[in-house]
Every structure is written in structure tokens, then in C-alpha cells.
Structure 1
Amino acid sequence: MFVLKVTLLTLLMMAPGLLVYADTSVTCEGNNAVLTCGAGVLNILSANYGRTDSNTCSAGRPSNQTTKTNCYGTKTLSEVSKRCEGKSSCVVPVTNSVFSDPCFGTYKYLSIRYSCVVQHTSVTCEGNNAVLTCGAGVLNILSANYGRTDSTTCSAGRPKGQTTKTNCYGTKTLSEVTKRCGGKSSCVVPVTNSVFSDPCFGTYKYLSIKYSCIVQYTSVTCEGNNAVLTCGTGVLNIFNANYGRTDPTTCSAGRPSNQTTKTNCYGTKTLSEVTKRCGGKSSCVVPVTNSVFSDPCFGTYKYLNIKYFCMIQHTSVTCEGQNAVLTCGVGVLNILSANYGRTDPTTCSAGRPKGQTTKTNCYGTKTLSEVTKRCGGKSTCVVPATNSVFSDPCFGTYKYLSIKYFCMIQ
């Protein structure tokens, strides 16, 4: 078996419960990809079954099996996520029977980028409060149920008739817990019928929640300077922002006391402005000035405080006539950009005459709005890469649908 495993980032955050590392697993066709996270659970970031270079998994192969380097399996991410997402380990056979064959005659490999997150479980008996906390991180709710799935949990002192029903599921539990807790550093959830309704009358229930913590960053920039945010290969998701002053010490050096004593100064449009300039980008620069945010407290020396986290950006490329399949597991899709057309001569060019791939300034003007309409805010979607969906931006050219997106906590 030939398997490559390369550590990309061995430590992202030392705080317990946060994202711990990100890996790339590369497995040659005909073998099994084995992913494991020890005490954590798998978070699949991206995956491709195909070939994007001529060297990987090429040993002993004739050159004609490794020269095609624009081979993408459009359903790879959804299949790997289905088999691995949220599990502590998984085995994925790297075969055409699992993924279908995206490039006949080419010897392929499965490349998976994933991270390991520590999964927490909270169990709270009916009538009490569930308290979730992530310290410096923010909560990502993986699953939740208000009901009963065994006869022993929260059974002390209860008559048998209240604990024997073990197929009791509250259908709206996950959405309710996510609404109250998702993206927050801590939350309190009352475990009562008034919050979740009663999925099994007469049964004594409990609330079981599985969740992970995501790294949250804070940027503080004094007035008159530039705030610089960066996420490397990820994209920025702005969580909170304020241009003003909420304490007397931050950005106070060399300032007279009358410029720093007002500590209830909030810029009401700060979050929308920072999100507009930074949201979904890998980096951004924000001038910390009144001209950008207006002045929420005249005479006070202000600063810009931003809380954000980094999300991995995915790219989906689907050849004309096929279906683009986007999936986000427990998150929802946020579409960053999309184009149905052609911007290079090599993508989706196999077996095509030269005349169908030479036009490289082909842009579908309505692509982004159409993909957003079909996919934005959903956990998964299917988009046919066809002229009937997008119309034809360049007649006679063989096109492809390229989508950039990230997954966001709802």
C-alpha cells in the first residue's frame, strides 16, 4: 500500500477543545484511505479523487496514465464527508466503484484535507440548564436531541414507566440549540418542554448535545491606523466588531484622560462595514477612521475591535453537462464567487477539439446569483452545469462551472 500523509499545521491553538491540527491524506487508487483523529472528530475540508499533478502516485506507472493533471471527481467531497465527517476515524476505499471514474485511463489518487476537532458531549436532565462553553473559541453544534435513547441516563429516582421509552427524538432540537448557541463562546439552554416541546409525553427526558469549539481571533487597532486581518488559505468570517471605546486603558498611551474616559461608545454600523470589506476574503485592510465608520463619540480617542474566525475556502470545478455537488456537513453554504464559462484552455479539455477550449475570457454574468439562489444557506445542493440553467455565455466553447465557497455555522 502506498499512502502519503503530510502534516500541514501541527498546532493551531493550544487552548483545550479547539481545532488541533490540519492534515492532508493522499492515497493511491486501489488502496484504502485511513483517517483518524484520536480523541477528536474529523472535519473534512476538501477532497478530490483524480489527478492534479504528474508525480503523485506515479511510481511504476506508464507516462500515459499520469499525464492528465486536470482530473477532478465532482462527488468526492460529498462522498468523503458522508463516510467520515464527525467520526473519530474512517476508512475510504479509493476506487472507481466508490467515486466513479472522472478520467478513464488515468491512474488516480484520493487527496483529502481535513482537520481534527475535539468533540464534547453535554448531557442535561429535564428541568435543568445545559451550559456550554468554549473559552477562547466559539461553539459549533454537531448534533442534539431532547428526548431519550436509553433507559439509564437521567433515571435516578424515576419510576420505570418514565424511562422505558428509548426511541424518543425531538425533531427540532438541533435547530433550537444551534440558534441559541452556534457561534457563541458560551450559552445556557433550559432543558424543558417549553423550549423544545414534548416529543414523548410521560417520559422523563434529557438533552444530549455534541459540539466542537472553533478558534476565534481578536484584532484591536487604534484610531488612525489600519486593521490588517489575514487567514492564510482560509477566508474571514466576521463574528463581531466595534469602532468606539469600551474601556479606559486600550489605546490610551499618551492620550489625555478626557479622550479615554467615555467607555460606552459603540459604532452601530461597524459590523456591517467590516463584514462588507472583509467577509469571505483571505485578507483585508480596514482604515480605522471616522471617515470609514463615522464618529460615534466626538472627542473620544477610539479603536476598532474585531472578533473573527477563519473558514477553509473550497473550490468546486464541474465540466459542462455534469452536476456540481456542494456539501457542508453540519454547516451551511456561503457562496463567494462563481463562473460558468472558461478562463483557461486546460480545465475540462480532455478529448475536446482545440476550437472548443481556446476562448478563455468567457464569463456567465448571472452565475453567482443563480448558484447563490440554489445553494446559499443550505447544507448541500446540486447545480447542473448546463446552458439551460445559466444560458450560454460563449457559443461553441466547452464550458465549466467554477464555484468558490466556504461552510459557515448557522
Structure 2
Amino acid sequence: MIHFSTTLALAATLLLLIPGVAAETVVTCNVDTVHRLSCDTGVISVQAALYGRADAETCSEGIPQSQLADTKCSQEGTVKVLQSRCDGRKACEVSVNVFGTPNPCVGTFKYLQTTFTCLPAIHRVTCEHSLTHLTCDQGLIISVYGATYGRHDQTTCVYGRPASETQNTDCSQPGSSVSQSCNGKNSCIITASNSVFGDPCPGTYKYLEVAYICEYPTTNPETSLHPLIRQYKYRCVCSHSPHQPGSPAVMFSFKVSTMLLLACSIIRAVDSTKKVTTCYNGDNVQRLSCDTGVIQVHSALYGRKDNETCSEGRPPRQLADTTCSLAGTTALLKRRCDGKRECELNPNTVRTSDPCRGISKYLQTIYSCFPAIHFATCEGSLANLQCDQGLQIRVYGADYGRRDTTTCIYKRPAAQVQNVLCSAPSPKVAERCNGKNNCTISATNSVFGDPCGGTYKYLEVAYICQYA
């Protein structure tokens, strides 16, 4: 970890490399129009918001002058509404008519204007009935930016769930209890459940979305630095290895600017490991995801190792065996999830046998997000893996099939892209390409087999370039 107190020059350099420092402004004129905030990297932090009118020019086209005269028109509480709905999320949509009552200036044509930044943060999505683990390195404490519980889309936490449980995407409420329970702590566990957050939409399978940072306690002298630097810890990943401690370091080859290479690779908010725990009932979904990089599973447990996790409503006899684990769980999770940006499954996927009858079990996975070259190649095309001179390919993961309705869909019939439970890990890319400087492989059924007839598929690959 880089210590910020070394020099102000270093601090200034890091600030330039933090994504999303510049503010963005979104203005929406019409009441029946959607107001959308989004971050390509980082999460939303609303700085200011106005519903009303502050000048005579904004949203004035076709509007009579009499409706533009009042330029001191604003509705109280607009900032708080936007912050409660959007802070800590990667994307946020609201309807302008949410702000129409009470009317701050009758007869004046109003607009909604929001100024926000995209701040680096640790971002977690946890499916209903799973536990989210918020953790910081020693000496740092949690500061929650924002949390929401509900559903915003039809693609998150959907594995094996009926369509009727994922259709309502206007189902969300702020999860203020996350801040109340976790702020100021070094680590914190929250259950994504109706018993904790209430039920904003009965019958819908929900998820908890949390964004937080790890910062020094306010008594630390480093608080004198710029807050965007003070709030984040950084590390250099140009010598980070995916192997066990003591293994040779790996040099990655990325197509990034010279300045970033000289700065020793990707400077980012540190989120070294993540832990997801999903209570078993046969239907719950476990979700692993990376905002940047790809998943690397370190360990996974299906069974029970303590009498507290997923214990709510369980009699003591179902919690008694704390040495219960199913062999092969880690290997299975690695096959399904390593090298992907997102991976969803339910505990039934790993439950090949019952390791301890009569004991209430859970699935717990520990993983990290590992920098890698990641791409998807549509069926019938050639995937090209290539490294700079002197480096060789090491495939981290490869899947052939379909996991969403947005990749490789141009002019394809809807029937060919609807099956999103069609994907299988394949060792063939690693077998053909590992150790080579460059490699070409065809994304076809003849190479990988056909995991789902009638579906148009794609090959998803994650790899690194390392010294021999």
C-alpha cells in the first residue's frame, strides 16, 4: 500500500488518476421523461440537485416568457431525494414527476438538474437471503456511500428464478440500516432479507446493492489531505500474482497509456477479497461479480463451519455440526466462475451429495477480482489471443454458450438469444493457447460442442500475458 503522507506531489499525481473526479450535470426538461445518472467506473455521488428554475435559458425552447420569469424557484429536499435514491449506485433512473409535489412555483416551467461525480468505491450486489461481508484492511474503517434493497433490472440475481419474480424493476428502497450497522467498523455482515430491510415489493426476488470505502478514522493526521485521496488506499498491481504466495510474479500486458504504465499499473480502490454467503433452501441465488477485472475463486464451502451463519429461525440441533463441508466445492466454483466478470448459481448446483444430514447448510465463497484481458467472440468468428514480444498467454477462464440477452445479438432472431442458462466452462482454450505468444481459436460447436441447440452462442475468454 502507498502511504499518502510521503509527499503532496504524490498525492496530486494520485488524484489525477482517480476516475470520476470531474462533475457531470444532467438536465431533464419534461415531466414524463426519465432522469438518468450513470457511471462507467465508480459509483454515483450526488453533489447538487434542483427541481425548479435558476435561469431563463435552461429548458426554454417553445416556452412563453411568462413561464420563465421566476428564476429563484426551487423545491426543498430535492438533493436528499436524489441522494437517497442514487448515491452508491452505478446507474440510477428517476421520473421527474416524483418532484412535482408540492409545486414550488405555480405557473413557472420547471426542470430537474442534478450534478454528480463518479467516485471510486467497493461495490457489492448481494442476492436476497445471502449475506454481504463488508471488510477493510487493518487500521481502516467502513464508510457507506449508499445502499438500496429491491430490484432495478431483470438481469441481476435471476439464476433459476421464475420470470414472475424478476419482472418488477421499479422496486427499491434505501437501505439505511447498512450505514447504521457498519459505519466506523473494520468489518460488518448484513443479511439481504425482508426481515432487515422490509419488503418493498412482495413476490419479487430482490437484492441488496451497497457501495462503501475504507478510510482512516477521522482522528488520523492524514485527514489533512484532499478527501478524495484520504478516503482511498491504493496498491500497485504490476507485480501481483494469481498464484499462491511465493510463486513468481506475473507481468501483465495491457493496452493502456504510458503514463499509467509509469505509474505502475492500475491505481484503484483496494478490494482485495470478497466473501459471499448464501443460505441454503434450494432456490436462493449466489452472485459473484467484478466491476473491473475477472473473478478468481480462492475457496468455497458448502456445509457449516460455525453455529451463527444462516442461523435465523433454525433449531440448535441443525447448527450443531460445525465441521461439515462437501469435498470439491472450491473446484466446482472455480470451473464455473473463474475468468468471468459475473457468475450466478444456486447452492443446488454444488450440492452433489449431503455432507451432513439434518444440518442447515450454506454456500460461502471467497474470491477476488483479478486484472485480466477479457473479451467475447460471437459464434462463427475467430478469437485471437495475443501478447507482446517476450510474453506468453495464460488462460484464466473460458466459457462457450450464452449468459445474457445483450451480447452477440445483432440481427439475430429473438428465439436464438433468449436462453441465458446456456453456458459451459471449457479447457480447450487453455489447452491450445497456454504458453504461446499468440493463438487463434474458432468459436464454433465443432470445437466446443453445443451446450444449447438453437441458441446463438459466444466464446468468453479471460487471459493474462506473463513472462515464461
Q: Same fold (TM over 0.5)?
A: no
TM range (shorter): 0.3 to 0.5
TM-score normalised by length of structure 2: 0.33
TM-score normalised by length of structure 1: 0.37
Greater strand fraction, Structure 1 or Structure 2: 1
